[in-house]
């Protein structure tokens, strides 16, 4: 039991530190974003989640066995970011960075509150608190909202903003990255954990009524 309490205290301290670091990161992102907006001759990174159709590209490789290949292979291109100088897109890119940092700050805030409340509740002899259940649910909703936002951003850029993408002389057809929704599995796991935790709260209340 003492070891469990020690782990909970350590996690509480860790997420408290990460929360502070995230807040500092948010301030830095806002400050640097403001500076970048006034630098008209500087490109800004516009990060977006995209995926492409299968593309044949010249490829050459050698295996450790000595076998080699030279020809064309199929690839799926996943652009990480685009460098854009247009102020409207720069503004959207900077706001995107700020929003992601706000998500991060709020996530670490919830995790900090969860483990802080667990560390304090050990004196009461119970880790099952209704407030903790609600915070776990909030984390699930937060990650779900982030997944939806990421897909919306990906779809908006690929279908409405990006007109043509050419790589090595080839026109690449891109689309929204549907793999983003694989994060929904994590969200479902968090909701399951929340409901299991809620069942623990109900068992605790039932045992108290029985006593």
Percent of residues in the chain assigned helix, strand, coil, to nearest 5: 65, 20, 15
| Distance (Å, whole) CA 118 – CA 13 | 12
Higher pLDDT, 50 or 204: 204
**184 pLDDT exceeds 80?**
yes
8 close to 115: Cβ distance less than 8 angstroms: yes
Q: Tokens in use for 211?
A: 């006593």
Q: pLDDT by residue (tens digit) across 57-76?
A: 788 888 888 888 888 888 77
**187 pLDDT exceeds 60?**
yes
- The pLDDT value given to residue 70: 87
141 close to 174: Cβ distance less than 8 angstroms: no
What rounded mean pLDDT belongs to the chain?
82
In which band, very low, low, confident or very high, does the pLDDT at 11 lie, cut at 50, 70 and 90? confident
Mean pLDDT, residues 149-160: 81
Tell me the three state secondary structure of residue 13.
Answer: helix
How many Cβ atoms sit within 10 Å of the Cβ of residue 149? 15
In which band, very low, low, confident or very high, does the pLDDT at 18 lie, cut at 50, 70 and 90? very high
Q: Tokens in use for 171?
A: 């026109």
**9 pLDDT exceeds 60?**
yes
Helix (H) or strand (E) holding 140: helix 130-156
Within the chain, what is the greatest distance between any pair of CA atoms?
77
- The pLDDT value given to residue 159: 76
| Distance (Å, whole) CA 70 – CA 60 | 4
**2 pLDDT exceeds 90?**
no
Q: pLDDT by residue (tens digit) across 77-124?
A: 777 666 666 777 778 888 888 999 999 999 999 999 998 888 877 655
Domain ranges of the chain: 2-46+85-210
């Amino acid at each position: 039991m003492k070891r469990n309490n020690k782990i909970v205290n350590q996690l509480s301290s860790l997420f408290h530190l990460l929360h502070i670091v995230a807040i500092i990161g948010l301030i830095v992102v806002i400050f640097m974003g403001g500076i970048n907006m006034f630098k008209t001759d500087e490109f800004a990174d516009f990060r977006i989640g995209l995926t492409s159709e299968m593309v044949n590209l010249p490829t050459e490789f050698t295996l450790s066995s000595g076998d080699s290949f030279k020809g064309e292979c199929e690839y799926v291109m996943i652009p990480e970011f685009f460098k854009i100088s247009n102020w409207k897109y720069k503004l959207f890119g900077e706001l995107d960075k700020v929003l992601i940092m706000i998500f991060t700050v709020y996530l670490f805030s919830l995790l900090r509150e969860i483990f802080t409340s667990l560390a304090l509740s050990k004196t009461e002899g119970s880790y099952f608190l209704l407030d903790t259940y609600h915070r776990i649910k909030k984390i699930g909703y937060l990650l779900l909202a982030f997944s939806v936002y990421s897909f919306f951003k990906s779809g908006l850029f690929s279908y409405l903003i990006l007109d043509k993408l050419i790589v090595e002389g080839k026109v690449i057809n891109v689309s929204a990255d549907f793999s983003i929704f694989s994060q929904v599995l994590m969200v479902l796991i968090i909701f399951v954990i929340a409901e299991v935790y809620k069942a623990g709260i109900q068992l605790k209340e039932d045992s108290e009524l029985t006593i």
